[in-house]
Amino acid sequence: MRTPTNISDWDDFVRHVVTRANGQIKFWELWNEPNLLKFYTGDINALLLMAQHAYNIIKSVDPNAVVLTPCPTWSTTYKVPSGASGTDPYVWMRDWLALGGGSYADVITFHGYPSRTTLESSINVKVDKMKTVMSDFGQSGKELWDTEASWGMVTDYPDPTLQAGFVARMYLLQWSRGVSRFFWYGWEFSPWGTLWDSTSGIHPAGVAYGEVNKWMVGATLITPCSATNNLWTCEFTRPNGYESLAVWSPSSTVSYAVPAKYTQYRDLNGDIFSIPSNGLLSISSSPILLEAPAPN
């Protein structure tokens, strides 16, 4: 899409949409993937003017609305000022914030599609780059949201077990790295990251989505996700003494000596198992949750 010839046409459009949705929509993302030519072919300065106008109109209609930045993704079509191709979302966001775009948003956003083979390092590097850019331009006080990501095309990542583990790892890693909200793409959207379809119903990855939600919601992250000898762990607690530890191994199955305080574990199907008498578990790329339940 190109920029409007007359900015007043944009103003009228935004005002009508926001007025019609007032009280029903709270969060407004100003543009989808502006660094991809199939979504935006105009100049970044023109988009900045559109963002300024949209922000002011949205806030005038609904002062409680939350406005998100345009959301960059991976792209080889966006050119940085040096003329080189910018691939990572932070490249576009750096230019956007340098122009003052942070003044017209309450939340900074990106699309965090990671490498499927190096998921952990890919997510950590990507989020760290976004946070560095935010800090460089005085935006660290705002939340960072990943508003679209998954493993990508189902045909590129077809194994249902690997898909389930991927979902859980994505949520755990982004939570650990300080991403305030992450939106999976998509629940019933084929062929991208599909978690449900009308023929087979909920996929194993969709079940994992629900289970990892139970692990995280209401819990407090104590130790961010980190690795020792290819074994990733992140520790969280709940009130009344409950402790838990998410554990997985991205690239190989490893034997893990479970700390004595954990008495059971949950898998991504929601099934609960006792820790074996020898205290050893085989850990794969599908995270499990070790639990030391709260005392009665």
pLDDT the model gives residue 173:
98
**Residue 42: Cβ within 10 Å count:** 13
| CATH number of residue 204's parent domain | 3.20.20.80
In a domain? residue 2: no
- Same domain for 127 and 23: yes
Neighbours of 185 (CB within 10 A): 18
Domain stops at, among 203, 219, 235: 219
Q: Are residues 249 and 210 in the same domain?
A: no
Q: Considering the domain boundaries, does residue 249 fall inside one?
A: yes
231 and 98 housed in the same domain: no
pLDDT at 170 over 80: yes
Strand partners, 247: 233, 288
Express as a percent the part of the chain with pLDDT over 70.
97
Report CA torsion sign: 192, 196, 198, 200. positive
Domain range for residue 124?
7-219
Residues 213, 229: one domain? no
Q: Verify that 38 and 183 share a domain, yes or no.
A: yes
Report residue 162 as tokens.
């690997």
Rounded to whole angstroms, the Cα distance separating 26 from 24 reads 7
Smallest Cα–Cα separation from 120: which of 230, 206, 220, 30?
A: 230
Last-in-domain residue among 185, 219, 253: 219
| Total residues found in the chain within this entry | 296
What integer pLDDT is reported at residue 112 of this predicted model? 95
Averaged pLDDT for residues 110-129: 95
Of the chain, the percentage scoring pLDDT greater than 90 comes to: 88
Q: Which residues pair with 197 in a beta bridge?
A: 201
List the single range of 70-74, 77-81, 173-177, 237-241 with lowest mean pLDDT.
77-81
**Same domain assignment for residues 117 and 163:** yes
Residue 271 CB neighbour total at 10 angstroms:
10
Looking at the structure, tell me whether residues 17 and 147 fall in a common domain. Answer: yes
Give bridge partners of residue 221 from the DSSP assignment. 236
162 and 232 both lie in a single domain: no
Helix (H, G, I), strand (E, B), or coil: what is residue 280? strand
**What is d(CA 68, CA 49) in angstroms, rounded to the nearest whole number?**
15
* Total domains in the fold of the chain: 2
Identify the CA nearest to 106 among candidates 70, 148, 147, 68. Answer: 68
- The rounded distance, in Å, linking the Cα atoms of 137 and 131 is 10
| Same structural domain, 76 and 26 | yes
pTM: 0.94
Considering the domain architecture, whether residues 48 and 193 belong to the same structural domain is answered as: yes
Question: Can you read off the two tokens belonging to residue 244?
Answer: 């838990």
Q: Is the per-residue pLDDT at 136 higher than 70?
A: yes
The pLDDT assigned to 87 comes to 85
Which of 165, 188, 219 corresponds to the end of one domain?
A: 219
- 207 with 236, same domain: the answer is no
